[in-house]
Every structure is written in structure tokens, then in C-alpha cells.
């Protein structure tokens, strides 16, 4: 199964592809994660979840002084809200939508015959009102519609997120957990938030022995128009990532991303500041699986031998 998939994100050199496959095989062999037969969709073992849970709690503790409102949403959003977010304009290729069966008994029989014959039975499925959550902050914006309090709002959200990008890169999962802090307010609120969290998130990674470097980055926008959106995002330095080694070959992968959306969501969802201006938003997102994998990469698969301060921070 692993060998059958190519990395569709970029044309990667064969030695890197081979090293990713090798590392994935090692992760499966260690029992840290489990193969499901689908690239980028893994089961996680007890140790993986303990480490991930430890860092998840560390994120919450590190933001306690900020007084964030905590929300947890299931990993789906309404189709109407999804459309308003304009995600489809930028990332049609990463979107996953939920489909369901509403056919007759005859349709059901037909469909089962198709399953048996190995043909595409999904024609019998129709779209529902649900889209898989692409980033943990998406369910928040419709909820924040209207006039903000004078100091704006700050949220703590965590959710499974889906992106349709099957890959053998262990660090690029199709479904993964993001823990985010999201600031909604004036441009000043948002820029202050970003300054605080760029430093703080780097210090948090350092506290668990991950030497993360901040880099200006861009999202994987779709098509040639997307190349322009990406260039514009870079030019305006709207996205920073903290990158760490996860796979062999010294590749660096984003473990944290800090995004300034300007008035994109404020305008799409009708969020205004106390002074009646369109609200600006920013988020800092921690990729929980990626951070966990980076910890295994840095300290090895045997958690009992990790440095004491790291174990203490993660409550292991």
C-alpha cells in the first residue's frame, strides 16, 4: 500500500521519498502509529496519545494568562458556513465533503450489486450539509458574527481537521488535530497577539527540546491564481511557520503556523469591532501530530529515556 502512492504535493526526489517510506515503516514497527491501509490516515498507540495529550495540555496551560474562551467542535462544519468562508476559492483540491445515502430499496440493491462487481457505488450517494473541517478555527467565525466587545475576543479551539492530500510523508496526514488560539479584533489587537504567540510558541517548543526556527511561509493555494495568492501572502509576511525536523534527510516541517487573515473572515462572516470597522483575525495553530512526531524524532521511541525536563513538561 505504501509503495503505491506518490506524493502529489510536490515532485520530490526519489531518495527523499524512499527515506519517508523507510521512516513510516519504522514508525509502524515501533507501534507508535498503526497503518490503516490509507496513506496519511493512521491509528495511534498509547504512547503517541500520551505524548500528544501532554503537549495539548501544555498549550492550554501556556495560554491561561490570556483568558481565552474555550470551544470544541466536531470535525465538520455546515456547508453554508463553508461556502461563506471562501475556502473553495483557494483550496478546492484539499476539501473533503460528507455524502450520504437517501435512495430507495431498489437503489440500495443496485448499489450493493455495484459493490460486488467492484464498480463505483458512490454514485448512489448525495452531498449532505456537512463539510470536513479544514482548520480548527473555521467553526468559530460564524459564531463570532456581529459586534465584538471593545477588547475583541480570544478563543482556544482544538479539532480534527481534514485535508485531501494522501502522502507517504509521515508528517503529512490527511486527518490530524490542530490546537489553535484565535484572536478577533482590531488590527492592533491582532498584531499584538501575533507578536506574543510567535515568541511564546517558539519557547514552548524549546521547552520540550525542539529547536524550531521561524520562517515566512505560504499556504498551498490552488492553481496559477494560487501561485499569485501565495506570492502575495509571502510579500506581506502574513504567515509564519515554526519548522522542525520530523522525517529523516533533515527535511523541515511546520509544527506551528501563525496566520494573519487581515479582514478575510471578518468580512465574510460580518464580524465588526466596537467602532464598527470590519474585524481582523489571526490564529496560531499547533499541529499536534506533527509536534508529537518531532518529539519522537528528537528523543527516540523510548519515552522512558527522554530528558527529565521534557517528561515533566509533558506530564509523562
Partner 1 sequence: MVEKIRDTLRQYARLNRDVSGISEDADLYACGLTSHATVNLMLGLEDAFQVEFPERMLRRRTFETIGNIRESIAELTAGLPAAAS
Of 141-149, 171-179, 229-237, 303-311, the window that binds partner 1 (rule: CB under 8 A) is 229-237
**Measured distance CA(119)–CA(112) in Å, rounded:** 10
Task: Write each residue from 247 to 276 as x if it is in contact with partner 1 (CB under 8 A), else as -, in one continuous string.
Answer: ------------------------------
Of 85-93, 96-104, 210-218, 294-302, the window that binds partner 1 (rule: CB under 8 A) is 85-93
Residue among 6, 109, 151, 236 that touches partner 1 (CB under 8 A):
236
User: What SS3 state is found at 169?
Assistant: coil
Going across the sheet that includes 76-78, the strands are 76-78, 125-132, 97-101
Residue among 85, 90, 201, 292 that touches partner 1 (CB under 8 A):
90
Residue among 41, 114, 154, 229 that touches partner 1 (CB under 8 A):
229
Question: Which one, 224 or 305, has the nearer CB to partner 1?
Answer: 224
51's CB contacts (< 8 A; 6+ apart) are 292, 295, 296, 303, 314, 316
C-alpha cell recorded at residue 214: 521561524
Residue among 61, 70, 74, 89 that touches partner 1 (CB under 8 A):
89
| Binding-residue total with partner 1 (CB under 8 A) | 14
State the nearest-atom distance from the C-beta of 268 to partner 1, in Å.
Answer: 10
Question: Which one, 8 or 89, has the nearer CB to partner 1?
Answer: 89
Q: Which helix (H) or strand (E) holds 243?
A: strand 239-245
Q: Which helix (H) or strand (E) holds 229?
A: helix 223-235
Site for partner 1 in 196-225 (CB under 8 A): 224-225
Residue 76 near residue 133 (C-beta atoms within 8 A)? yes
CA distances from 52 to 56, 282, 311 (A): 6, 24, 12
User: What SS3 state is found at 254?
Assistant: strand
Residue among 86, 109, 206, 312 that touches partner 1 (CB under 8 A):
86
Residue among 107, 227, 309, 312 that touches partner 1 (CB under 8 A):
227
State the nearest-atom distance from the C-beta of 92 to partner 1, in Å.
Answer: 13
Residue among 107, 231, 300, 312 that touches partner 1 (CB under 8 A):
231
Of 31-39, 59-67, 212-220, 232-240, the window that binds partner 1 (rule: CB under 8 A) is 232-240
State the nearest-atom distance from the C-beta of 228 to partner 1, in Å.
Answer: 4
C-alpha cell recorded at residue 172: 503529512
CA distances from 101 to 32, 75, 112, 269 (A): 36, 20, 12, 31
Give phi and psi for 132, each to the nearest 5. -70, 135
**Measured distance CA(108)–CA(106) in Å, rounded:** 5
Site for partner 1 in 102-141 (CB under 8 A): none
By CB under 8 A, residue 237 contacts partner 1: no
Interface ranges with partner 1 (CB under 8 A): 86, 89-90, 224-229, 231-233, 235-236
Amino acid at each position: 500500500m505504501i509503495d503505491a502512492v506518490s506524493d502529489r504535493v510536490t515532485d520530490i526526489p526519489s531518495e527523499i521519498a524512499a527515506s519517508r517510506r523507510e521512516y513510516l515503516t519504522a514508525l509502524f514497527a515501533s507501534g507508535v502509529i498503526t497503518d490503516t491501509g490509507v496513506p496519511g490516515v493512521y491509528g495511534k498507540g498509547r504512547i503517541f496519545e500520551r505524548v500528544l495529550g501532554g503537549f495539548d495540555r501544555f498549550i492550554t496551560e501556556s495560554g491561561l494568562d490570556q483568558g481565552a474562551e474555550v470551544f470544541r467542535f466536531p470535525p465538520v462544519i455546515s456547508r453554508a458556513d463553508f461556502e461563506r468562508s471562501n475556502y473553495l476559492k483557494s483550496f478546492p483540491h484539499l476539501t473533503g465533503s460528507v455524502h450520504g445515502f437517501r435512495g430507495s430499496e431498489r437503489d440500495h440493491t443496485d448499489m450493493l450489486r455495484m459493490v460486488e462487481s467492484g464498480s463505483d457505488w458512490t454514485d448512489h450517494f448525495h452531498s449532505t450539509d456537512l463539510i470536513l473541517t479544514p482548520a480548527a478555527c473555521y467553526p468559530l467565525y460564524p459564531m463570532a458574527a456581529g459586534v465584538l466587545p471593545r477588547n475583541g475576543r480570544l478563543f482556544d479551539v482544538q479539532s480534527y481537521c481534514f485535508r485531501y492530500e494522501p502522502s507517504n510523508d509521515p508528517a503529512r496526514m490527511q486527518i490530524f488535530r490542530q490546537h489553535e488560539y484565535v484572536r478577533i479584533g482590531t488590527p492592533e489587537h491582532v498584531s499584538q497577539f501575533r507578536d506574543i504567540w510567535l515568541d511564546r510558541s517558539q519557547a514552548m517548543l524549546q521547552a520540550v527540546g525542539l529547536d524550531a526556527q521561524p520562517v515566512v511561509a505560504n499556504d498551498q493555494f490552488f492553481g496559477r491564481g494560487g501561485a499569485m495568492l501565495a506570492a502575495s501572502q509571502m510579500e506581506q509576511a502574513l504567515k509564519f511557520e515554526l519548522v522542525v525536523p520530523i522525517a529523516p534527510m533533515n527535511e523541515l516541517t511546520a509544527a506551528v503556523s501563525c496566520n494573519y487573515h487581515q479582514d478575510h473572515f471578518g468580512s465574510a462572516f460580518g464580524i465588526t469591532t466596537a467602532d464598527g470597522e470590519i474585524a481582523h483575525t489571526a490564529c496560531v495553530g499547533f499541529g499536534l501530530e506533527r509536534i508529537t512526531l518531532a518529539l519522537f524524532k528528537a528523543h527516540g521511541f523510548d519515552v522512558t529515556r527522554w530528558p527529565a525536563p521534557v517528561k515533566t513538561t509533558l506530564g509523562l
